[in-house]
Amino acid sequence: MKLSSKLTRKKHSHPLFQNPTPMFQRKPKAALISLVRNSELEGIEQSMRHLEARFNHKYNYPWIFFNDVPFDDTFKARTKNLTNAECIYATVPESHWSLPKWIDESRFISSLEYLGAIGVGKGWMISYRHMCRWNSGFFYKHPVLDDFDWYWRVEPDVHFFCDIDYDPFVFMEENNLKYGFNINILDDARSFPSMWRQTQEFMSEYPELIHPEADFSWVIDHKNDGEYNNCQFFSNFEIGSLNFFRSKTYNTYFDYIDRKGGFYYERYGDAPLHTLAVVLFLSKRYQHDINKQCPATLHDKCSCEPTNLDENFYKLVPMESPQKKPEDSCIRLWLGGEWLERDDAGQYVKTGYEF
């Protein structure tokens, strides 16, 4: 998990190598949250089994499930049976899961047809647009989260391969961290072609909101007129501060982007929006950490084969795509420094296995 914060970089200080948090410490106000349908019950059961076994059976953070329709009794009974923690079931307000009044419906339908025809992932799905918009600007406003400060997003059909022997919520709270991720990936630029231009316009209109230590270097394509290189934190797994998203700064940005209509006229995702918000409003201070699905150094606590640092870079945008690619993988651009260095043979000095 990579972390953006006011924390200096230190080698071999990842919390996985530290003792678990003593149970007498104050427990953060945190929850595991999932936007999931009744029909995805088996998928969320898979995720719960893994996360309970690897982490939450020791900490019992509540599970909060969101759905755009009420959960049925079967979903509630089977999910409650997988944890000793409290389970909370919430319905997304209709106003947060419907077409905004300022959207031109005919233009929206044309977008669905066009993006579906050219093969943009889920570009034809109306519900997917609502989901991306909700995850971008509404999840943290739901009253069921009012008493919480932190969230860990959990998707259906997720596998957690390694034991988590520390409390990441405590770690983030104690170190003033705001956002954590585990994958930094290249996204399909066809789904949000206007987002960077609108973000630049926002920056010009609200320069006082930009963090004085904001680091744009790793998301800018310096060989392509300073365009966004489409690198993003993969938000399907993220841990974050609810107060960061509740802030006036973040909501000014979301409202600005939302009013442009890109969630419906294009297919804006919450991942690039979260990424650009973290870049704009947080300083880039980070802990030397593991950005891979399976770390080699924890083989005795994991049930998977180690993966390379760059493993996920081309999962969304194939190498053969004509989309302009960054000079290096997104995670290496984010890490910078020695992670970009190559030897005389062109091989990376840091291979992705040395932690």
* Torsion sign (Cα): 242, 246, 248, 254: positive
Separation between Cα atoms, residue 72 and residue 186, nearest integer Å? 37
Strand partners, 238: 153, 181
Instruction: Report the amino acid identity of residue 28.
Output: P
- Residue 181's nearest CA partner among 275, 298, 285 is 275
Would you please indicate which residues are annotated as catalytic (active-site) residues?
238
Judge whether 157 and 43 are in contact, CB under 8 Å: yes
Separation between Cα atoms, residue 63 and residue 61, nearest integer Å? 7
CB atoms closer than 10 angstroms to residue 226: 12
DSSP label at 55? I
CA angle 285, 272, 104 (to 5 degrees): 150
Burial class of 58 by CB neighbour count within 10 A (0 to 12, 13 to 18, 19+): middle
CA angle 340, 10, 288 (to 5 degrees): 50
Separation between Cα atoms, residue 197 and residue 203, nearest integer Å? 10
Separation between Cα atoms, residue 233 and residue 273, nearest integer Å? 10
Separation between Cα atoms, residue 326 and residue 313, nearest integer Å? 11
Separation between Cα atoms, residue 136 and residue 275, nearest integer Å? 11
Give backbone dihedrals phi and psi of 254, rounded to 5 degrees, phi first: -60, -50
